[in-house]
A and B are shown apart, each in its own frame.
Chain A
Amino acid sequence: MRANVPSYDLVAPRDLAHALSLLPDYRPLAGGTDVMVLFEAGKLDHRCWQSILHLRELRGVTEAPDFVTLGALTTYSDIRRSSLLGAEFPLLAEAAAQVGGMATQNRGTVGGNIVNASPAADTPPALLAYDAEVELTSLRGSRWVRYASFHTGYKRMDLAPDELLTAVRLPRGGRVTKSSYRKVGTRRAQAISKVCFAATCTGDRIRIGLASVAPVPLLVEATRADARERLEAALAPIDDIRSTAAYRRQVALNLLEEFLA
């Protein structure tokens, strides 16, 4: 433990309104699976945090005619256990099953996975493939944003300092004829992805969500005919300690070939 622990404050808001009133001074901490890693390494600069994991109103899967909505604090385990998501949005269920180990899945949340803004996160490709929207809430009110436009650059988001990501919704009724999720990680479990590929095919339209191939989770919308070309143009991978740009590029293209086959 490299942090000077007593110099950090952590408070528990009474409810969502209280939590919003504490923003932006007290930053939100949910399952802790990302924030606590930085903290442990002595690399967490911000000192005041609010723990929001207990806010029940932000957790759970609800069904409406046009959408299935996940509270931002819905955990990966919650997602895996939801038969509704398993049936209608299997890529998301698959993504949740591939995050960390059981202990991480019990704590980590879909909202946290999004706002941590890692380009290697596991659920964003699935959310992009399903054309998800995210709800951003502040004391000023709420707004829905298309997830595809949420990440604006490396670790940058369409999220004001006083806003909290409160929900994610997935549009229903799309006639997905084929879908696939493939995480190519450093190992088969407890891995960070080197390439993560999620795709849905609806008639001729293909939506491909990708992670670890660009500074942000990437969406490529295409038809069968121009998918290769569009994917190739969108890829912007880098060399890092986990893989190489060349590998990432080629594997993303190979996975598309497999999907199209």
Chain B
Amino acid sequence: MESYVTTIRCTVNGIARSIKTPPMARLLDVLREEMDCTGVKEGCGEGECGACSVLLDGELVNSCLIPVLQGEDSTIVTIEGLAPSDSLHKIQHAFLDCGGAQCGICTPGMILATAALLERHPQPTPDQIREGLAGNLCRCTGYMRIFEAVEQAARG
């Protein structure tokens, strides 16, 4: 059986990286296994749950559906890179304050989805919040604490 490999260059959380990898490897696996970004979680492997959400060139994507070749020359932000080390982003603060994280497995993706939402709608309506987070499934909270966290983060 053939075995394919390629070299991918990209910037992850501000650091330029170059790695050898099969071109069809999922961005999810490359981030977790080659770049120590284990805050990127796998929940379903089919783009349904959003636990693997990252920001790719500023846009929210499901890293489980992205072959790493599509990350060539891109800029990627994972939960580890949302705030400078030893500090918290205002969204992270809001999730802590409002009880937006329970088991924590959806939390990194949910926070990045919130960042993408607030980028587009800095003062989102309740409907915009519900729609903006609909691709990120949470089984613990029933979403109410998360909505509150988004509203708090939007207030600044």
> A: which residues have CB within 8 A of B?
1, 3-12, 29, 31-33, 36-37, 39-41, 47, 49, 51, 53-54, 77, 100-104, 106-107, 188-190
Contact = CB atoms under 8 A, between A and B. Distances in A.
B31 interface: no
B59 to A, nearest CB: 5
B29 interface: yes
B24 A5 contact: yes
29 contacts: A1-B29, A3-B24, A5-B22, A7-B3, A8-B4, A9-B24, A10-B23, A10-B24, A11-B23, A11-B69, A12-B72, A32-B66, A36-B65, A37-B47, A47-B2, A51-B67, A51-B70, A100-B47, A101-B133, A101-B134, A101-B135, A102-B116, A102-B132, A102-B134, A103-B113, A104-B47, A104-B62, A106-B60, A106-B61
Contacts of A7: 1-4
A199 B118 CA distance: 34
Interface string B102-133: 00000000000100110000000000001111
Nearest to B131: A189
Contacts of B148: none
Contact of A103 (B24, B60, B70): B60
B26 interface: yes
Given A36-B66, A51-B67, A189-B135, 14 more contacts: A5-B24, A6-B4, A32-B67, A32-B70, A37-B47, A40-B64, A47-B2, A49-B24, A100-B135, A101-B133, A102-B60, A102-B132, A107-B62, A190-B48
Interface string B38-50: 0000000111101
A40 B2 CA distance: 19
Interface residues of B, number: 39
B15 interface: no
Interface of B: 1-5, 22-26, 29, 45-48, 50, 53, 59-62, 64-67, 69-70, 72, 113, 116-117, 130-137
A233 B60 CA distance: 43
A6, A49, A101, A188: which has the most chain B beta carbons within 10 Å? A101
Nearest to A49: B24
A51 B50 CA distance: 22
A54 B69 CA distance: 11
Contacts of B59: 77, 106
Contacts of A9: 2, 4, 23-24
Contacts of B131: 189
B77 to A, nearest CB: 14
Nearest to B1: A7
A36 B137 CA distance: 19
Contact of A10 (B3, B45, B60, B69): B69
B69 A12 contact: yes
A51 B69 contact: yes
A1 B66 contact: no
A3 B64 CA distance: 13
Contact of A101 (B25, B29, B69, B136): B136
A3 B25 CA distance: 10
B4 to A, nearest CB: 4
B22 A102 contact: no
B26 A103 contact: no
A29 B23 CA distance: 13
A5 B132 CA distance: 32
A11 B50 CA distance: 26
